[in-house]
């Protein structure tokens, strides 16, 4: 039995040109108890989306704040993920760098933001896999996915 079957999968699917090795660091970067402070956790620039209590919209710097539920904003190899948790908000930063910690595959999904959907834009996400031991057998398990931007 081959130890690195995940690598073999990549070799059998040539339509995964961006599949490859990397390192992924996920860390909590902030918490907010008030809505205005949650908006302040978002970066000043980037691509992404925000989910308000009445709509999903593409992220735009300086956008009019509404009641923010969730957001994902990416800038290069870093993505800020903001979620309403309990009675407040938490923000995590996902940073990708060169290395051999993880394997990653990029996929695109249709957006639920009406304006971006009408423009034919899709959300691109990168899913990360990490090798772990399962009763002595090395297996690849998903770590999570991060937004990497809008794609045509």
Tens of pLDDT along the chain (152 residues)? 444 545 555 455 545 545 678 899 999 999 999 999 999 999 999 999 999 999 888 999 888 778 999 999 999 999 999 999 998 999 999 999 998 888 898 888 888 777 777 777 889 999 999 888 889 888 888 999 999 998 88
Structurally, the chain folds into a number of domains equal to 1
Nearest to 126 by CA among 28, 22, 14, 49: 22
Backbone phi, psi, residue 9, to 5°: -60, -45
Q: Up-side HSE of residue 133: CA atoms within 13 Å toward CB?
A: 2
CB 68 within 8 A of CB 38: yes
Q: What is the pLDDT of residue 25?
A: 93
| Among candidate residues 113, 88, 97, 91, the one with its CA nearest the CA of residue 33 | 88
CA distance 37 to 96: 26
Residue 112 has what pLDDT? 78
Range of the domain at 76: 5-151
Output the six-digit token pair for 46: 């980037």
Q: What angle do CA 85, 103, 150 make, to 5 degrees?
A: 60
pLDDT at 9: 52
């Amino acid at each position: 039995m081959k130890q690195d079957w995940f690598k073999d999968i990549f070799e059998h699917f040539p339509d995964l040109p961006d599949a490859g090795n990397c390192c992924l660091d996920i860390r909590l970067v902030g918490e907010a108890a008030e809505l205005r402070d949650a908006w302040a956790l978002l970066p000043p620039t980037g691509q992404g989306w925000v989910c308000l209590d009445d709509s999903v919209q593409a992220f735009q710097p300086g956008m009019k704040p509404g009641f923010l539920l969730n957001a994902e904003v990416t800038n290069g190899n870093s993505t800020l993920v903001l979620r309403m948790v309990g009675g407040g908000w938490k923000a995590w930063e996902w940073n990708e760098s060169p290395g051999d910690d993880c394997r990653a595959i990029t996929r695109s999904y249709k957006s639920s933001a009406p304006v971006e959907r009408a423009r034919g834009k899709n959300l691109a996400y990168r899913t990360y896999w990490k090798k772990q031991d399962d009763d002595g057998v090395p297996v690849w398990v998903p770590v999570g996915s991060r937004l990497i931007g809008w794609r045509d």
